[in-house]
Amino acid sequence: MLSTDITVLKQVHQWLAEGYSVWLTTVLKTYGSSPRQPGAMCAIRDDGALIGSVSGGCIEDDLRSKALEGLLPNDEIVFLTYGESLNDRDRFRLPCGGSLRLSVEKVTQPDWPLKILEAIEQRKQVKRRLQLNNRQSIVEPANNADKIVEEYSDEISFVYGPRARLLLIGAGETSSYLAKMASALDYQVYIAEPREEMQLTWRAEDGELLAMMPDDAVVKLQPDQNTSIITLTHDPKLDDMALLEALKSDAFYIGALGSLRTNAKRRERLALFDLTASQIARLHGPVGLNIGSKTPAEIAVSILAELIDLKHIYNKQQSNPATMRVVSNG
């Protein structure tokens, strides 16, 4: 879940506490090109104040106008489709061939946004079942088979989860580039660095520094399916310490910097410990897409490119749970 969508839920809760009428708009489905994916949200206040986004801006302007004109629903859930015609796409500046379907609901229960936010704070994934007949929301635990958004005849279900995290092992130059780029992609970045001389040069704004041994950092974060871990120290002792814990965790992605030869030796070392062959197979090494990267910045780009690629593959699998698999190197 993106930090912008978490902010939307926080603002909904605050606006309700302040006595405003609030409507929540959620992307249910997209067709063709779309700047936001299913599950993206924006909230509109009765005075036209708006937070979040479901498009590039023009649809938000239309929703704001509807709020000011009193045209948003009070007693029902409304479904809107934008971009069905060429004229519609031109008017709302949607990408070529793109259209999207939205739900608009007046938020009358102040408790469900808070329940979701509390679950996200604990890095739990939850599902909200919005009942169409009475507009009541039921929040319950989600499972991996649940889609981000799913429509039924009597309800819509929405899945909410914690932000993506990226744990980097080693505070070197590649880590610095990678942290900056990952932050721009909405990752919550952590850097595990036990070496004092390396800690001194790390900039706090690039990510939270964990001044501890790599294996301790992995244990501290308790990696989940929204966590990626990458070793970058060039020190086999430090990198292997992190990998021994990471490969036994629920982390979405685990990668190690180094050549094919270096990673082959790394796998031989890991096999000497209490790791199964399937656990070792989860390791992506050499880390990143093979784009001929040489410089630290280029290596960072290749790593993020692979993360983006695997994330989109995972999202497609999630839309069809029967095809889902664990992300591994192979």
> Residue 323: what pLDDT?
37
The larger pLDDT score, comparing residue 35 to residue 17, is at 17
Those residues whose C-beta lies under 8 Å from the C-beta of residue 258, and which sit 6 or more positions away, are 234, 266, 285, 286, 287
Residues 229 and 300 in one domain: yes
Lowest mean per-residue pLDDT among 79-88, 185-194, 321-330: 321-330
What pLDDT was estimated at residue 325? 39
End of a domain among 75, 94, 125? 125
Give 218 or 94, the one with higher predicted confidence: 218
Average pLDDT over residues 39-60: 93
Answer for the pair 85, 94: CB distance below 8 angstroms, yes or no.
no
Does some domain include residue 71? yes
Give the count of domains, the chain.
2
Q: Are residues 21 and 107 in the same domain?
A: yes
200 shares a domain with 281: yes
For residues 108 and 185, membership in a common domain is answered with: no
- Tell whether 177 and 247 lie within a shared domain: yes
The per-residue pLDDT for 57 is 76
Instruction: State the angle between helix axes of 111-121 and 3-17 in degrees (0 to 180), rounded to the nearest 10.
Output: 140
- Structural domain contains residue 143: no
Is the residue at 222 inside a domain? yes
% of the chain exceeding 70 in pLDDT: 92
Residue 269, domain CATH: 3.40.50.720
Q: What is the pLDDT of residues 69-111, one digit of tens each?
A: 999 999 999 999 988 766 666 666 666 557 889 999 999 999 9
| Residue that finishes a domain, picked among 75, 101, 125 | 125
Q: Is 169 found in the same domain as 315?
A: yes
Q: Residue 22 pairs with which residues in a beta bridge?
A: 45
Q: What is the mean pLDDT of the chain?
A: 91
Q: Are residues 181 and 118 in the same domain?
A: no
In sequence order, which residues have a C-beta less than 8 Å from that of residue 255 and are 6 or more positions away? 228, 229, 230, 231, 283, 284, 285, 287, 288, 303, 306
The predicted-structure confidence for 28-47, as pLDDT tens digits, reads as follows 998 877 778 899 999 999 99
Give the residue numbers spanning the domain of 24.
3-125
Please tell me whether residues 74 and 183 are part of one structural domain. no
Do 107 and 174 fall into the same domain?
A: no
Q: Domain for residue 133, yes or no? A: no
171 and 51, same structural domain?
Answer: no
Residue 151 resides in a domain: no
Buried b (16+ CB within 10 A) or exposed e, 184-194: eeebbbbbbbb
Which of 104, 128, 121 lies closest to 3 in space, CA to CA? 121
- Determine contact, residues 288/163, Cβ cutoff 8 Å: no
Sole residue written with tokens 């970045």? 189
* Residues contacting 64, CB < 8 A, separation 6+: 44, 48, 50
**Of 115-129, 260-274, 305-319, the least confident:** 305-319
* Domain presence at residue 130: no
Residue 254 and residue 108 in one domain: no
Same domain, yes or no, for 259 and 114? no
